[in-house]
């Protein structure tokens, strides 16, 4: 099951495989570490790894930053060069471009800063791209949301509004209707906004289902009417959003730990990966009637935070089957792991 592991220089909180075709082997990992002392500050880093299922992990780049809460690659269908968005503790959104270092003796892969925008005096806690790669949403620690545009390598804040009472841990563009933006917060509210309005207009807000803060929102890439939410209350919930005025909570499952991240499988319909904070990681199968846990992973010894599927898939000994790789990271033990699920094959 385990392919490789690596101990990082800070508390690991996000992992993201590059979705662009030529860079499926590249994994970005972010850290956030509160440096205590007379002048406490939040330190962070971004590391890039090259992944080979036989050779394991190779660290190819590392850069020091302010403490990072979230990272996200731009969509692969945008005909753009790979860009990595960084939401950090200084209230900035920074875009890094993935490049080959032509000046090095041995050509390598590096990240270069493309542009930075000071979004707020509050901390940027989460980030998401729309499907076009032209708009970026940021959730802030003061409960507000900002939407920025990216034009000719320049970021511009289009609008900001007070969306929630407390910290916003997740924002997510609707992949089918990019004018809709979903958000979840420590105020336990799951909301949807129409960003064609300025300030954005509230489409719906569920205030009763989540008993604790809403940590993550993920749309099913094969069924645009299905959304998943995760919460500190340990439940993963499945929503039918065909009725946008009042989405229906179809089913839910307690995963035994706060559901911090949900990642849908890029190729398999109805399969998701969840980071469950105090209960490791789980691979789920979402059926029409219920949700089942098909595999768990407990080889981390700290808070399970970052999780992602690799877009590239590798042949197994059986030529008719191919295997996905998973990357996960945990916070206080500063550990990155790459592993192969034993329960899933792509035929």
Helix %, strand %, coil % for the chain, to 5? Answer: 0, 60, 40
> What angle (nearest 5°) sits at the alpha carbon of residue 35, between those of residues 30 and 39?
135
pLDDT above 70: residue 254: yes
Whole-prediction pTM value?
Answer: 0.94
Q: 3-state DSSP call for residue 186?
A: coil
Q: What is the CA radius of gyration of the chain?
A: 19
- CA trace torsion 289, 283, 300, 313 (10° rounding): -170
Between 107 and 134, residue with greater pLDDT: 134
The DSSP H or E segment spanning 280 is: none
pLDDT above 80: residue 97: yes
The pLDDT value recorded for residue 313 is 66
φ and ψ at residue 286, rounded to 5 degrees: -100, 100
The pLDDT value recorded for residue 312 is 75
> What angle (nearest 5°) sits at the alpha carbon of residue 83, between those of residues 158 and 271?
95
**Is the CB of residue 71 less than 8 Å from the CB of residue 96?**
no
Burial of residue 62 (CB within 10 Å: 0-12, 13-18, 19+) is middle
pLDDT per position as a tens digit, 48-96: 999 988 888 999 999 999 999 999 999 987 678 999 999 999 999 999 9
| Domains and their CATH numbers in the chain | 2-339 (2.130.10.10)
User: Where does the pLDDT of residue 172 fall: very low under 50, low under 70, confident under 90, or very high at 90 and above?
Assistant: very high
**Is the CB of residue 7 less than 8 Å from the CB of residue 335?**
yes
Identify which of 132, 55, 65, 62 has the alpha carbon closest to the alpha carbon of residue 94. 65
Measured between alpha carbons, how far is 270 from 268 in angstroms, rounded to an integer? 6
Sign for the CA dihedral angle at 241, 247, 250, 256 comes to positive
> Looking at residues 319-340, what average pLDDT do you find?
86
Percent of the chain clearing pLDDT 70 (strictly above): 93
Identify which of 157, 131, 145, 16 has the alpha carbon closest to the alpha carbon of residue 84. 16
Tokens linked to 266: 């890029």
């Amino acid at each position: 099951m385990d392919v490789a592991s690596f101990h990082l220089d800070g508390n690991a909180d996000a992992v993201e495989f590059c979705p662009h075709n030529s860079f499926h082997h590249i994994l970005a990992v972010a850290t956030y570490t509160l440096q205590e002392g007379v002048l406490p500050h939040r330190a962070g880093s971004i590391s890039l790894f090259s992944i080979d299922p036989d050779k394991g992990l190779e660290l190819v780049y590392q850069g020091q930053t302010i403490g990072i809460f979230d990272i996200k690659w731009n969509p692969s269908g945008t005909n753009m060069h790979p860009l990595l968005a960084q939401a950090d503790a200084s209230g900035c959104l920074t875009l890094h471009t993935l490049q080959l270092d032509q000046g090095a003796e041995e050509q390598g892969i590096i990240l270069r800063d493309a542009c930075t925008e000071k979004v707020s005096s509050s901390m940027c806690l989460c980030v998401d791209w729309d499907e076009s790669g032209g708009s970026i949403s940021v959730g802030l620690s003061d409960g507000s949301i900002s939407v920025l545009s990216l034009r000719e390598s320049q970021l511009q804040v289009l609008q900001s509004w007070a969306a929630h009472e407390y910290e916003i841990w997740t924002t997510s563009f609707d992949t089918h209707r990019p004018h809709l933006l979903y958000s979840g917060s420590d105020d336990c509210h799951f909301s949807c906004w129409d960003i064609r309005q300025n300030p954005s207009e509230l489409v719906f807000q569920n205030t009763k289902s989540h008993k604790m803060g809403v940590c993550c929102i993920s749309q099913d890439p094969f069924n645009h009417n299905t959304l998943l939410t995760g919460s500190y209350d340990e439940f993963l919930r499945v929503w039918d959003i065909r009725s946008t005025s009042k989405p229906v909570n179809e089913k839910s499952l307690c995963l035994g730990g706060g559901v911090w991240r949900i990642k849908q499988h890029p190729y398999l319909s109805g399969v998701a990966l969840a980071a469950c904070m105090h209960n490791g990681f789980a691979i789920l199968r979402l059926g029409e009637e219920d949700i089942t846990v098909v595999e768990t992973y407990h080889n981390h010894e700290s808070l399970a935070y970052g999780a992602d599927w690799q877009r590239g898939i590798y042949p197994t000994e059986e030529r008719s089957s191919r295997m996905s790789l998973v990357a996960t990271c945990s916070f206080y033990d500063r550990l990155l792991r790459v592993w192969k699920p034993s329960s899933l094959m792509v035929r």
